[in-house]
Structure 1
């Protein structure tokens, strides 16, 4: 489990294809504190560490990504040289600063508008119809692994949904979201509580 509070930005420095895709990701962590088999959320995707090395502040770790994961995540997430948001898994006793995030991407969204509002950035994101029942104003959503609050929701003709989020300067600086442009794709994960409420509602029906 994760909180959607990004602790570092990593860079994909190497890709190897041998059935699954293996990535080597540079990061500012201490490799001695990265356990083989540990889970790290990479731009919202829970991945397992299979190798690690380097030194404190200049480390790297490797992960394997299946074809299923590639097919369900944003197209540019895994490009060589891409910056990705990193969050190690939650430990008992850690502060829950964002919201409960599982690291399982529900859908890919598209940035349809980016606007500067004073010192903050307002993003409008379009998501597929399947996610519409789970996105609510003042609810939580993870965008590329970052816990954000939904500001407004607009249901579109055809069933898709458009929602707005606000990036304060700190969030824009310490995550990859500040570099997003119109047309970019992002990994979306709906709020876990909303998922269960929808299930309960369907059983009542």
Structure 2
């Protein structure tokens, strides 16, 4: 688990392609690796990866074919900048929100514009994720915990302050940039809970409806 508070911006030192999957060498910059051991989890652009080899300036991680197909990691090249966060501990400040490191889909930056000292971003999520994105709710973009400032269908708006631009890779975003998205963990489990017995069906409902909520007891007759 992670908090979505980026601890360092690193860069890809190299990529070794291996029969359809890959091994990444991640140079970790200012990230403190003194307490990291083999097998520990580190989020790279919001993707939870396992450190399989350590070196003083970074670590190596294997990336499966599935992870490559479902995230933007397949687009990385040597010198690509990446957001980094070590897994949280029981005494970690939860400054963001609970983040699993399991990417739900890839979004696309639609617009970027100045807003006083901040910058406003509009990002389009895959249609299937739109129902999990709420005004003033939390969302993870490339591993960064952010607050949704507005929602229009599958598009949502973010207000990014100068500190976040400086401490993450968001300063490099431009219209067309693709980003890893993880929706709020609670929203995913809540939907499953509301489905009730229907969750066990071979083909559970694809969306919450008024009839389904009534059967589950959330709407009084």
TM-score, normalised to structure 2, is 0.85
Alpha-carbon distance between aligned partners in 1 of 2:195 and 2:72, rounded to the nearest angstrom: 29
Query: Per the alignment, in what secondary structure is the counterpart of residue 33 of structure 1?
Result: coil
How far off is 1:75 after superposition?
6.0
How far off is 1:77 after superposition?
4.7
Match of 1:165 among 153, 158, 178: 158
Alpha-carbon distance between aligned partners in 2 of 1:95 and 1:30, rounded to the nearest angstrom: 17
Find the counterpart in structure 1 of residue 2 from structure 2. 2
Give the 4+ runs in structure 1 shifted more than 6 A. Answer: none
Q: Deviations over 1:132-181 (max 9, x none)?
A: 110000000000000000000001xxxxx000011100000000012100
Find the counterpart in structure 2 of residue 108 from structure 1. 106
Select the structure that is richer in strand. 1
Q: Does 1:42 align with 2:44?
A: yes
Equivalent residues, number: 196
Q: Does 1:95 align with 2:93?
A: yes
Find the counterpart in structure 2 of residue 11 from structure 1. 11
State whether residues 13 and 79 of structure 2, in contact with CA within 8 Å, keep that contact through their aligned partners in structure 1: yes
State whether residues 112 and 120 of structure 2, in contact with CA within 8 Å, keep that contact through their aligned partners in structure 1: yes
Unpaired stretches in structure 1, ≥5 consecutive residues: 156-160
State whether residues 7 and 31 of structure 2, in contact with CA within 8 Å, keep that contact through their aligned partners in structure 1: no
Find the counterpart in structure 1 of residue 26 from structure 2. 25
* Structure 1 segment 109-148 matched on structure 2, within 5 A: 109-148=107-146
Alpha-carbon distance between aligned partners in 1 of 2:163 and 2:100, rounded to the nearest angstrom: 24
Unpaired stretches in structure 2, ≥5 consecutive residues: 198-211, 213-221
Q: Does 1:53 align with 2:69?
A: no
Relative contact order (alpha carbons < 8 A, sep ≥ 6): 1 or 2 greater? 1
Alpha-carbon distance between aligned partners in 2 of 1:125 and 1:184, rounded to the nearest angstrom: 9
Query: Per the alignment, in what secondary structure is the counterpart of residue 149 of structure 2?
Result: strand
Find the counterpart in structure 2 of residue 158 from structure 1. none
Structure with greater Cα Rg: 2
Match of 2:173 among 173, 180, 183: 180
Query: Per the alignment, in what secondary structure is the counterpart of residue 5 of structure 1?
Result: coil
